[in-house]
Amino acid sequence: MKKDIPVKKVTDVAIAALPNAEDPQFWDVYLLNLKEDALHNVLITSRGYGNIDNEKRETTQLRYFYEVIGPEMAVKVELLDSNLFLLANEYWISFNYNNYMYDRKYVFMPGSFLETNYTMLPIINQLGIMIK
């Protein structure tokens, strides 16, 4: 039954965000495949949720699909408007790797998009924030 299904942990896959070079109002969100092999049938959902001024707010859920994301590759997922930084920004990733389906939720909480949280992003080689 449920206990018989193996649960494998997602490793070497990250979500990263960095300020857009052309418009500081927006940030570029990337999926980073840090593995030495490709990911297949990658489904990414994104949404924002939380409270602003004691009022519940939620964005539309968006879905992205990539048939293959190569090894040690960064794929731009979306532009994120900085007005959404007051919300939790969630990215749920599902993919096939070595004949197993993995999934994991990554959440940038309000206050994540601060310069004090910057790190050098692998593959992209620019400063930004990352959840690995």
Model confidence over 34-61: pLDDT tens digits?
999 999 999 999 999 999 899 999 999 9
User: Which structure tokens are listed for 127?
Assistant: 């400063």
Instruction: Give the chain's domains with CATH numbers.
Output: 2-121 (2.60.40.10)
Q: What is the pTM of this model?
A: 0.93
Residues 6+ away with beta carbon under 8 Å from 52: 86, 87
As a whole-number percent, the residues of the chain with pLDDT over 70 amount to 98
